Amino acid sequence: MGKSISISILNSGNVNEFFNTLNEVKEKINKKKIGKDLFDINIHFDVMDGKFVDNIGVDLGYIKLAKDMGFYTDVHLMVKEPILDRYIENAIAFGADEITIHYEIENFEETLKYLNVRKNKILKYRGRNIVIGVAIKTDTPVEELRKYKDLFDKILIMSVEAGYGGQEYNTKVNDKLRTAKVLFENHIIEVDGGIDIKTIEEPLRYGVESFVIGMYLIKLSKNKLYSKILSFNIKNDIEMLPKDVNLDFEKTILQIVPQGYAEHDTLLGINIPNIRKIAKKWYKFVDEDILNDYISSDYHEYRRFAIYCLSYLVKYMFNEDKEAVLKINEYIEKNMRYINNWDLTDEVAPNITAKYFNTLNVSKLKEKLNEYLNDENIWKKRIGIVSMLPYAKEGNDKIVLWVVDKVIYDEYHLFQKASGWVLRELYKTKKEVVIKYLKEKNNKKKVPSILLSYACEKMSKEEKIM
């Protein structure tokens, strides 16, 4: 059994309409042929009696409708008397695939044994398996379930107070999830309440297999529901990648250190080739809603993922489509505050911004470059410089030197390195032009040594500026 998202229909309003919408979304995802290991999409039934919790839940009769439409059904009984009030029998009769009872009910042990008897009979005589789950409230220690571990298949850990949708995720439950994965390694661990695209991250890292999600998904339009389900799958793919990067080294080169320009950034420890691999899998399927989940993330690798997707879109799908390139560059400009380190700018500049600049006439190009080079955002300014790389490789010395002229004496090392890099590329096609340019500029005023070291890297001893 793979990982699953079990969508709670507690606050769905029109259940039939939601089932139809979700069914269309599932079919759309299946047609995309994205690949293996996607989340199974199930239906979660929060059933309440107004006694165990202060609310009335979903009618069990909807299980049959969900089963008729091919959905896997996950029934969560928040009821005081699951046997006496026939909740278990009704759930079985309607075809429930999973039945979860609460540890906190008075007759828990008796109910758990009853469920096992019913499960074994149904498996023997009907060949149908029922998954047995045990739910615990936020303040119940998971360790208390150890003596019953052979009598159930799944633990449902509440991350909100039982009974109502729309509550915020209680991060304290993460320690309980981690403990559950250690103590119950052969059981399914499910978390219920307050799950969204951000709060799902830590549970995924701990290996949680199943997520109950309600209000975050239930009111979305069909298109947005489709995008959000894909986004959850992307999040899972990224979180499952090895986190084996040397963090001390990575933090140093990205300046994620005290007083560094990225001191408040956060790394997961996923290497660049693996993030590129995931971006290559998903770039064809991302839209703006999905990209927004990643480009604005606190985690650097998630922002890398969004940038790589945009870069691949331009490279493989929209290279000759001026309108599409314009739209992608507009998205970049709108989210410039998140493109906040040299590895991100140096992906954007030659692969996206330069493609956009290439659609402009000389007058508009210089106007746009001035905007970038005079911006207070240091990363936008660096993008303006590094966007000259393709022009340098083509030998377009006029526009390249026009840009470098504006920053050549700048004292900030990020601009010195970028300018030197661009001149080094131009040197490969216009040796004499670059040598003459650097001599003239150095004679006028000393050119920063970092810029010179980059620009002169490929030069002979005779050619280098002394």
Q: What CATH number corresponds to the domain at position 10? A: 3.20.20.70
Q: CB of 83 within 8 A of CB of 114?
A: yes
- Measured N-to-C along each axis, helices 15-32 and 222-239 cross at an angle, to the nearest 10 degrees, of 50
Q: Is residue 460 situated within a structural domain?
A: no
pLDDT recorded at residue 92: 96
The pLDDT tens digits of the residues spanning 233-242 come to 999 999 999 9
Q: Is 75 helix (H, G, I), strand (E, B) or coil?
A: strand
The 10 Å Cβ neighbour count of residue 14 is: 10
Token pair recorded at residue 375: 């911006």
Euclidean distance between CA atoms 5 and 115, whole angstroms? 24
Q: Is residue 351 situated within a structural domain?
A: yes
Q: Quick one: 53 and 155 in the same domain? A: yes
Domains identified in the chain, total number: 2
Q: Quick one: 331 and 266 in the same domain? A: yes
The pLDDT tens digits of the residues spanning 102-115 come to 999 999 999 999 99
Q: Quick one: 111 and 260 in the same domain? A: no
Euclidean distance between CA atoms 254 and 256, whole angstroms? 6
Q: Quick one: 206 and 328 in the same domain? A: no
Question: Of 7-11, 271-275, 384-388, 447-451, where does mean pLDDT reach its minimum?
Answer: 7-11
Q: Nearest CA to 438 among 423, 457, 416, 418?
A: 423
Torsion sign across C-alpha atoms 168, 188, 10, 225: positive
Q: Is residue 462 situated within a structural domain?
A: no
The pLDDT tens digits of the residues spanning 371-420 come to 999 999 999 999 999 999 999 999 999 999 999 999 999 999 999 999 99
Q: Quick one: 108 and 166 in the same domain? A: yes
Q: The domain containing residue 252 runs over which residues? A: 247-455
Q: Quick one: 234 and 251 in the same domain? A: no
- CATH number for the domain that contains residue 347: 1.25.10.90
Q: Is residue 464 situated within a structural domain?
A: no
Q: Quick one: 264 and 189 in the same domain? A: no
Q: Is residue 72 situated within a structural domain?
A: yes
Q: Quick one: 395 and 291 in the same domain? A: yes
Match 């604005």 to its residue by tokens. 296
User: Among residues 239, 266, 282, which one ends one of the domains?
Assistant: 239
Which three-class secondary structure string do you get for 111-172?
HHHHHHHHHHHHHHHHCCCCEEEEEECCCCCHHHHHHHHHHCCEEEEECCCCCCCCCCCCCC
Q: Nearest CA to 403 among 414, 412, 418, 411?
A: 418
User: Among residues 188, 211, 239, which one ends one of the domains?
Assistant: 239
Q: Is residue 341 situated within a structural domain?
A: yes
Q: Quick one: 234 and 264 in the same domain? A: no
User: Among residues 215, 239, 263, which one ends one of the domains?
Assistant: 239
Q: Is residue 46 situated within a structural domain?
A: yes
The 10 Å Cβ neighbour count of residue 436 is: 11
Q: CB of 77 within 8 A of CB of 47?
A: yes
pLDDT of 2 higher than 90: no
Euclidean distance between CA atoms 290 and 232, whole angstroms? 9
The pLDDT tens digits of the residues spanning 104-144 come to 999 999 999 999 999 999 999 999 999 999 999 999 999 99
Q: Quick one: 307 and 414 in the same domain? A: yes
Euclidean distance between CA atoms 59 and 73, whole angstroms? 13
Q: Is 200 helix (H, G, I), strand (E, B) or coil?
A: coil
Q: Quick one: 95 and 220 in the same domain? A: yes
Euclidean distance between CA atoms 230 and 309, whole angstroms? 14
- Assign residue 95 a region (left: φ > 0; alpha: ψ between -120 and 50; beta: otherwise): left
pTM of the model: 0.93
Question: 188-192 and 210-213 as β-strands: parallel, antiparallel, unpaired?
Answer: parallel
Query: Which of the four pLDDT bands, split at 50, 70 and 90, describes residue 164?
Result: low
Q: Quick one: 228 and 86 in the same domain? A: yes
- Compute and round to an integer the Cα radius of gyration of the chain: 29
Q: How much of the chain exceeds pLDDT 70, in percent?
A: 99
